[in-house]
Structure 1
């Protein structure tokens, strides 16, 4: 005689356009001192650490997960504070999912940002995000949030709970293929001369 599986209980979450989730499962934070090797201009990063301190908050992530494994979703917010290191705008570390075919949705709640997107075979693009705009990132695309505005860039994200993250892929390649840098009052993409290509995921 079969029995019904134990079901998870639906959860109500309060999501703030200023960043953060009331009812989150966890929060993790990244500080300026954690960003070694993320920006191309290591001297500018070190100068920023010396001037502002290694414990200056750069971004934080709140997420909620109700279960693990296939079929479950993780919902969260990413809040990336404004700033620049050299000519580069503030960024998250970026990642490819450890299960590379897993997709992810990002919806901008506030601020002005860019989702920098690349594939291991050399495709590269940038999607500009402002409140109400979203990007559906397919599997096999590396993705990194960039704050090109002067306010916190807050996105709501959702992805499969079994996806995982591969952060080393970018570091091993000498950074992403493209950099998002200041261009007058705006931004532009410029090639990263240190990029050596991605290993096959």
Structure 2
């Protein structure tokens, strides 16, 4: 019997996922401006901030899993490190797993009271995200940050809660050092 690796798994290693069931979305600076403390007029509106690949299952079984890959560019907005939008899960019983594939960054986690903590992401690190916590990725390096993720089909994404209660910290790269500051 010959064992072969699935094509989309191989492409994970190359920083993308291909296939007919894969959805790809691109977040440009024009769509991400509200994620940062202040706008940066020097940053072109069409600057790619991150790409998300999602391989969704096509049935109604809630125990099935979705797979994704987020590729974050090494961009700063007025020294604030590049971040994803961040979200809670609609179904808080659904946890999520992140695996840092390439690069370095932080996984910001926030509880329902707005308390944040950060986990360092390095190549090969694995992160369990409790379904009750909001989560967002932060690219703190000068190279791309690539993070694989796996979550239940029925988890859902609740972006509105993060808009109403933004993450209570922001991450900056200042004079070559990463600093975490309270969001005021």
TM-score by length of 2: 0.89
RMSD value, Cα: 1.7
Q: Which digits, 9 at most, give the CA deviation of each residue in 1:20-75, with x for residues without a partner?
A: 11335211111110013111113x2xx144xx2x2221111111122344111001
Could you state the TM-score of these two structures normalised by the residue count of structure 1?
A: 0.81
Report the equivalent of 1:129.
121
Which residue is equivalent to 1:90?
82
Question: Is 1:55 the equivalent of 2:46?
Answer: yes
- 1:21 pairs, out of 17, 24, 36, with 17
Residues 1:192 and 2:165 aligned together: no
* CA 1:179–1:103: 2 relative to 1, 3 Å: same
Q: Which is further off, 121-130 or 63-72?
A: 63-72
Count of residues in correspondence between the two structures: 176
Instruction: Return structure 1 stretches of 4+ with deviation > 4 angstroms.
Output: none
- Corresponding position of 2:91: 99
Unmatched tracts of structure 1, length 5 or more: 1-10, 194-201
Alpha-carbon offset, residue 171 of structure 1 = 1.6
Q: 1:121 to 1:68 in 2, by over 3 A?
A: farther
**Cα distance, 1:18 vs. partner?**
4.2
User: What is the match of residue 35 of structure 1?
Assistant: 32
Distance in 2 (CA, whole Å) between partners of 1:77 and 1:145 is: 12
Which of the two has higher C-alpha Rg?
Answer: 1
8 Å CA contact 2:55, 2:68 repeated in 1? yes
Which runs of no fewer than 5 residues in structure 2 stay unpaired?
A: none
- Give how far 1:122 is off: 3.3
